[in-house]
Amino acid sequence: MDKISTANDRASNVSILKSRVALVTGGTRGIGLAIAERLARLGASIAICGRDPASLARAKARLTEAGVPVYAQIADVSRSEEVTELAAKSSAALGEISVLVNNAGIGLFGPAHENSGAELDRILSINLKSVFLMSKAVIPSMIRQGTGDIVNISSLAGKNTFAGGGIYCASKWGVMGLSGCMAEDLRENGIRVSVICPGSVATEFSTRGPKDQSKSLRPEDVAHAVETIVTQAPGSFVSEIQLRPLRKP
């Protein structure tokens, strides 16, 4: 009977992504930082971005403790010129990006007829447009490499509707549609596009109301799902993960 795990197996898992460069948007806190830390512990070089200089500096220092190269840049990933610069400078600092995690996102809730056009534009720009822009910026490099993983963090709100979720659900349903079509467009180039749909996660992220965070998902749960995707055997890919807390918050 095969052994389930050995010390050598665990040691090899630590460096399983050693030759890869991962860019995580919104990587300064919460889910994004947990994902960046998980990929760093697996040996990947890490690029992160955020909009707050202090948070970015703290996250970079924390990631550097993993002993891998880290690049950090202030960027608004809803702006095309800043995305182009982020991708170019990350690649110049670390090498060609082969893992992209589109994690940046915001939450705005309330009846759709009470939301403003400006609120709709803001949530679509950050939650959906940024996925399009970031992916577009790194795909040419992935095509040259003949490999790559794009992991888009959506939500169970991208699969379900609820009162007060109009513009948020619209943005996350958009991520689902974009991800599925990109997966079909790119699979023949050796590029895997996957989407993760978490339920309630205990972070600083805006929520619809008070929840029992002791029963919520943890950022590390989402990071584990990302690890599952990017360490999948090369001849297959996990197209979608729906992630729920065991007990309803």
pLDDT in tens, 8-55: 444 446 689 999 999 999 999 999 999 999 999 999 999 999 999 999
Please check whether residue 249 lies inside any domain of the structure: no
pTM: 0.91
**Sign of torsion over alpha carbons 63, 69, 73, 77:** negative
Residue 138 has pLDDT above 80, yes or no: yes
CA atoms of 226 and 30, how far apart (whole Å): 14
pLDDT in tens, 45-92: 999 999 999 999 999 999 999 999 999 999 999 999 999 999 999 999
pLDDT in tens, 167-223: 999 999 999 999 999 999 999 999 999 999 999 898 765 455 556 777 789 999 999
Residue 3 has pLDDT above 80, yes or no: no
Residue 99 has pLDDT above 50, yes or no: yes
Please check whether residue 8 lies inside any domain of the structure: no
Please check whether residue 69 lies inside any domain of the structure: yes
27 sits in the region (left: phi over 0; alpha: psi -120 to 50; else beta) called alpha
Angle of the 166-186 helix axis to the 130-145 helix axis, nearest 10: 10
Contact 177, 154 (CB under 8 A): no
- Kind and range of the H or E element at 193? strand 191-198
Please check whether residue 136 lies inside any domain of the structure: yes
The string over 99-108, giving b where at least 16 C-beta atoms fall within 10 Å of a residue's C-beta and e elsewhere, is bbbbbbbebb
Name the domain count of the chain: 1
Please check whether residue 2 lies inside any domain of the structure: no
Contact 228, 241 (CB under 8 A): yes
Domain enclosing residue 123, as ranges: 18-243
Contact 55, 29 (CB under 8 A): yes
- What positions carry a catalytic annotation? 168
* Cβ count near 55 (within 10 Å): 15
> What is the per-residue pLDDT for 204?
63
Please check whether residue 7 lies inside any domain of the structure: no
The domain that contains 61 carries what CATH number? 3.40.50.720
Please check whether residue 11 lies inside any domain of the structure: no
Contact 48, 58 (CB under 8 A): no
Structure tokens at 143: 């095509």
Please check whether residue 179 lies inside any domain of the structure: yes
